[in-house]
Amino acid sequence: MSAIRTGAGWPAGDAGPPTHSTFEVGRSRHGQVALEADELAEEVPVALEYNGISHAVMLASPADLEDFALGFSLSEGLVAGPRDVYEIDTEAGCDGITVRLRIAAEAFALFKERRRAMTGRTGCGLCGTESLQEVMRVPAPVASSASFGGAALYAAFAQLQTRQELLRHTGSTHAAAWLRADGQVGLVREDVGRHNALDKLIGALARGGEDRARGAVLVTSRASYEMVLKTASAGVGLLAAVSGPTALAVRLAQQTGVTLAGFVRAGRHVVYTHPQRLQDRTEQA
């Protein structure tokens, strides 16, 4: 990923827009109301431009936007791989943030063919999609050698809880995390939108050169169709969620070879597809 040049459009010495802000609120406890300070997650319009053409406007947390832009481009099939993305630049404006990507000529030609107007909203992954064929695309089956026991999965989610900094401040964000083959959580990305958090993680994986064939994606949300689609598109063989999946997500996971686990709690989980990557040797149920 050294070919990608990234640059932030913030003033020198500025870390960028804040991810959360403080408000005065009236907090009621047992009928007593007190004025207190509360921290709320920021969500801002993020416009994605490809070679000067505006493609999508998403509402997202204003952090890790280079990861988000790359991950979105990969998971949506707008580019075939990270080598197709030459530059990513971000610029803050009065109305939001613009992320400009410069992509390879071949990728740009394909991009123009399938260009569509999209407006993303918090928690929505399919807004603006024009055809059923675009929604129901099926990635190639994953080739993954990932293997984890249940205990490793529970420990990983415990690790994830300690690393959700934005959630600790606001209580209103999702996270997507990368579980390495050694059982350690290597990357965590947060956002007000679960799809955005996963796109940020996918972008970070691509930029960091992680071995996606041996790890797993953890998400603090339900496992919807779009979450499985993005996981499979990234070539990851195991998706584990704290909530349940949809029926469509299970069917897609079955088709693409993704091991899908839901309702992951300390000491228990449910495996819906391809259980060979998630074998709990301590229980012989």
Question: Which active-site residues does the annotation give?
Answer: 124
* Local structure of residue 148 (DSSP, 8 states): B
What distance in Å separates the CA atoms of residue 74 and residue 61, rounded to the nearest whole number?
19
- The DSSP letter of residue 146 is -
CB 212 within 8 A of CB 198: no
Question: Is 123 exposed, middle or buried, given 0-12, 13-18 or 19+ CB atoms closer than 10 A?
Answer: middle
Inter-axis angle of helices 65-75 and 225-233, to 10 degrees?
90
φ, ψ for residue 173, nearest 5 deg: -125, 160
- Looking at the DSSP bridge assignments, the partners of residue 36 are 25
Whole-number Å distance between alpha carbons of 270 and 25: 39
